[in-house]
Amino acid sequence: MASIKDVAAEAGVSVATVSRVLNDHPSVSADARTRVLAAVETLGYRPNAVARSLRTDQTRTLGLVISDVLNPYFTELARSVEEEARALGYSVIIGNADERPDLQDHHVRTLLDRRIDGLLVSPTDGGSPLMLDAARAGTPMVFVDRWIPGVEVPVVRSDGQSAVRDLVTHLHRLGHRRLAIIAGPAATTTGRERVDAFRAALREHGLDLPDAYTGQGDFQAESGRRVTEGFLDLAEPPEVIFAADNLMALGALDAVRARGLRVPDDIALAAFDDIRWFVHTDPPVTAIAQPTGALGRAAVRALVDRIEGRPGESVTLPARLVVRRSCGEPGPSPSPSPVRRSTS
Amino acid sequence: MASIKDVAAEAGVSVATVSRVLNDHPSVSADARTRVLAAVETLGYRPNAVARSLRTDQTRTLGLVISDVLNPYFTELARSVEEEARALGYSVIIGNADERPDLQDHHVRTLLDRRIDGLLVSPTDGGSPLMLDAARAGTPMVFVDRWIPGVEVPVVRSDGQSAVRDLVTHLHRLGHRRLAIIAGPAATTTGRERVDAFRAALREHGLDLPDAYTGQGDFQAESGRRVTEGFLDLAEPPEVIFAADNLMALGALDAVRARGLRVPDDIALAAFDDIRWFVHTDPPVTAIAQPTGALGRAAVRALVDRIEGRPGESVTLPARLVVRRSCGEPGPSPSPSPVRRSTS
DNA sequence: ATTCCTCGTGTAATCGATTCCACGAGGAGG
DNA sequence: CCTCCTCGTGGAATCGATTACACGAGGAAT
């Protein structure tokens, strides 16, 4: 592959001049410029980004470590991150942690070795020393979706508290009193927060969240299935299952179906994270939708701000409830009169 | 960040010795080795991959340009690619083309600038000159899922022909005679092949595929919706719609639902590409499943073979039909004994 | 004792860019 | 006519690694 030297030789100038033309530095004669450009053209020259990075100490690359690529929520996040980054002139390298701290660390390490300019992480666990070190060492970093408390890193996330309250109100109005949750890992902020929000909302309605109704999941479908099995085996199973993410909801659906039960007649289901398929599931699933695209874009902007020396601030956007039929009543406007409308 | 010089100074040896220790070259004394290792430890030194790549002319990185990250099929493919690559000591940089040739070229270009060791592509169009040049120039390359004919590049894909035949037989047996297809872009091999396979299978049953029943989609949900609208507007709408990918099937579902029609009673639906959600849609969707994980792994192996100087061969794996209820008859797996377990 | 290996190590070239500095030509101002 | 700038340009250092080559010390073989 042609190097800058070849271009210089072809154009009959020095490498310095070629470099100047390429970075459009002002002091180059029109003549030299056209000759260089012509040489670039005939040789099909493309600057070696590796060499450039070594010299300039910047890669114009962002690292994104997400918890699980198979989760549509993170997929959408990744997409918006890449889009915004591209608009700002950065590339993105995605690392998939698969909810495993060791894999997460592996990716953080490789990314750091690659000297990415900044790191976007939605941490799988509560305190990878590697990541803490990186943050302390001054690597520009932003947490997205999940975060690690006590670290001086901007956090871009969405607040589901009021949406969860809306959900519980909705459920309560439908007559449900025994509500259970499939929680995410306690090591993650979203894992804890969603349970806390749920419990707080229940309390507002004078309801309790017994331990038996708190299943421990790991944000993967299989755990949703397992926990749901447990719920269904109880002497007094819950009337509603709230899954803290869409994959665990999928698992719950698997489990309910395996028992030959029906949603919402036998048991109601709601999920955190809305995905397109929830419109077409049987029944359509009531969910809490995050402004995923906005989240990704805000995260990139905050990170690039940091990289380029500007402050880079935390952002919190509200999530909102999307009512469908999986909890009983169809329709978006929660009217206090439980109209029995048999659908599908 | 500490460099190899700092380590050398700390250990009281030359950079050459440090490098030798790090690449475990045999001729280093035990004493020097321990001193270097200690220095690496205390300084928290990590080799700069950028510098190393410049010198060795290899990045140990693979580029993967996929058509659409939001498509679960490609997501799963990407995941298996990354997994296998990691096992072989490579990282993967994913570029999302969003089915847009210009974006595809953008990613190929950046990847090439980054001097990735090899390129995995599922081309969005039939002949990006950039990619052809790269292939000719000797960049190790492998096509996955889709390919560009006439290029000397191994292809790893799955063959859906017999599965499509099984599907048509299944549909025919259910009494369907008016079968329509939502095709993918003609610029892609998968776009053409699936139509061809469908048409050939129809012919075997003495059926025809009229133009009116061949809708042009682009592998995105919206096009599925649009084409389906068109089908439903026909004086004689088809009895079955076969979507050439899962996203267009989603769009079709949207359209059918918007009309207040029901699947499969009013119209049957089948899709190429199976995804987990198809089990839980209303109704569960009959689909053709590709061995996605195996595909991704085989593609990486072929590419790494090429990179490391071995032949690197094409692979074709069979897809298979998964019958569910969206075409009329309940599938084999769901046992038709709904245990009514009423929970008080 | 001399010669010849082997072994461990260091010096320096190299990869492909960017950029500081020096230099010569030419114009402006005294 | 001399001095001083400005402008365009090239030489060379530099980034952080790898690696060819040279070299000195020490042991084995003669």
Q: What is the CATH number of the domain that holds A237?
A: 3.40.50.2300
Residues 47-76 of A with CB under 7 A from strand C: 47-48, 51-52, 54-56
E strand or H helix at A106: helix A101-113
Is residue A66, in this structure, part of any structural domain at all? Answer: yes
Measured CA to CA, the distance from residue B146 to residue B156 in angstroms comes to: 8
Cβ atoms of residues A307 and A118 within 8 Å: yes
Asked if B266 and B297 sit in the same domain, the reply is: no
Chain D positions within 7 A of any protein Cβ atom are: 7-12, 14-20
Is residue A36, in this structure, part of any structural domain at all? Answer: yes
Is residue A210, in this structure, part of any structural domain at all? Answer: yes
Q: How far is CA A169 from the centre of its chain?
A: 27
Query: Cβ of A42 < 7 Å from strand C?
Result: no
- What integer pLDDT is reported at residue A336 of this predicted model? 40
Q: What is the domain-level CATH number for residue A12? A: 1.10.260.40
- What integer pLDDT is reported at residue A284 of this predicted model? 93
Asked if B178 and B229 sit in the same domain, the reply is: yes
Closest CA–CA distance from residue A234 to any residue of chain B (Å)? 10
B79 contacts A96? CB cut-off 8 A:
yes
Measured CA to CA, the distance from residue B146 to residue B189 in angstroms comes to: 6
Of A69, A260, A277, the CB nearest to B75: A69
Provide the number of CB pairs (under 8 Å) joining chain A to chain B.
124
Measured CA to CA, the distance from residue A190 to residue A196 in angstroms comes to: 10
Asked if B31 and B112 sit in the same domain, the reply is: no
B4 CA vs C14 C1’ separation (Å) = 17
Asked if B297 and B283 sit in the same domain, the reply is: no
Asked if B129 and B63 sit in the same domain, the reply is: yes
- pLDDT for B147-166, tens place per residue? 999 898 999 999 999 999 99
Backbone dihedral region for residue A38 (phi beyond 0: left; psi -120 to 50: alpha; all else: beta) = alpha
B48 contacts A260? CB cut-off 8 A:
no
Chain B residues with beta carbon closer than 8 angstroms to that of A260: 337-341
Backbone dihedral region for residue A132 (phi beyond 0: left; psi -120 to 50: alpha; all else: beta) = alpha
Is residue B339, in this structure, part of any structural domain at all? Answer: no
Is residue A39, in this structure, part of any structural domain at all? Answer: yes
Measured CA to CA, the distance from residue A194 to residue A182 in angstroms comes to: 10
Average pLDDT, chain B: 92
Q: What are phi and psi of A224, to 5 degrees?
A: -65, -40
- pLDDT for B298-320, tens place per residue? 999 999 999 999 988 999 999 99
Is residue A326, in this structure, part of any structural domain at all? Answer: no
Residue with minimal CA–C1' distance to C14 is B55
- What integer pLDDT is reported at residue A334 of this predicted model? 40
Of B49, B281, B337, the CB nearest to A114: B49
Cβ atoms of residues A175 and A337 within 8 Å: no
Mutate which of A48, A265, A280 to test chain B, going by most B C-beta atoms within 10 A?
A280
| Cis peptide leading into residue A283 (ω within 30°) | yes
Residue with tokens 């271009």: A7
- What integer pLDDT is reported at residue B27 of this predicted model? 87
Local confidence band at B330 (pLDDT 50, 70, 90 cut-offs): low
Asked if A172 and A283 sit in the same domain, the reply is: yes
Is the pLDDT reported for residue B257 higher than 60?
A: yes
Q: CB neighbours (10 Å) of residue B313?
A: 14
Closest CA–CA distance from residue B109 to any residue of chain A (Å)? 9
DSSP string, A57-104: T---EEEEEES-TTSHHHHHHHHHHHHHHHHTT-EEEEEE-TT-HHHH
Residue B96: closest CA among chain A residues belongs to which residue?
Answer: A79
A313 CA vs C18 C1’ separation (Å) = 32
| Cis peptide leading into residue B264 (ω within 30°) | yes
Give average pLDDT by consecutive 10-residue segment, chain A, 344 residues: 95 96 92 96 97 97 95 96 97 94 95 97 88 92 94 94 96 95 94 96 96 96 96 96 96 94 94 93 94 98 96 94 88 40 36
Measured CA to CA, the distance from residue B280 to residue A258 in angstroms comes to: 11
E strand or H helix at B36: helix B30-43
Q: Supply A36's token pair.
A: 């260089």
Asked if B134 and B193 sit in the same domain, the reply is: no
Asked if A19 and A167 sit in the same domain, the reply is: no
Closest CA–CA distance from residue B204 to any residue of chain A (Å)? 33
- What integer pLDDT is reported at residue A340 of this predicted model? 36
Closest CA–CA distance from residue A266 to any residue of chain B (Å)? 7
DSSP string, B76-124: HHHHHHHHHHHHTT-EEEEEE-TT-HHHHHHHHHHHHHTT-SEEEE--S
Closest CA–CA distance from residue B130 to any residue of chain A (Å)? 11
Asked if A166 and A109 sit in the same domain, the reply is: no
* Structural domain boundaries, residue B14: 4-47
Asked if A144 and A130 sit in the same domain, the reply is: yes
Q: What are phi and psi of A90, to 5 degrees?
A: -115, 155
Of A49, A115, A221, the CB nearest to B115: A49
Cα pseudo-dihedral B325, B330, B335, B336, rounded to 10: 120
Local confidence band at B340 (pLDDT 50, 70, 90 cut-offs): very low
Chain A residues with beta carbon closer than 8 angstroms to that of B280: 250, 253-254, 257, 277, 281-282
Of B70, B221, B276, the CB nearest to A79: B70
Query: Cβ of A32 < 7 Å from strand C?
Result: no
Measured CA to CA, the distance from residue B91 to residue A174 in angstroms comes to: 50
Is residue B343, in this structure, part of any structural domain at all? Answer: no
Q: Which of A298, A206, A202, A280 is nearest to A242 (CA)?
A: A202
Asked if A99 and A174 sit in the same domain, the reply is: no
| Total number of domains in chain A | 3
A38 CA vs C24 C1’ separation (Å) = 27
Local confidence band at B126 (pLDDT 50, 70, 90 cut-offs): confident
Measured CA to CA, the distance from residue A306 to residue A134 in angstroms comes to: 14
Measured CA to CA, the distance from residue B269 to residue B179 in angstroms comes to: 10
Residue with minimal CA–C1' distance to C20 is A16
Residue B130: closest CA among chain A residues belongs to which residue?
Answer: A44
Asked if A253 and A285 sit in the same domain, the reply is: yes
- Structural domain ending residue among the three candidates B270, B289, B308: B289
Measured CA to CA, the distance from residue A48 to residue B50 in angstroms comes to: 11
- What integer pLDDT is reported at residue B116 of this predicted model? 97
Is residue A329, in this structure, part of any structural domain at all? Answer: no
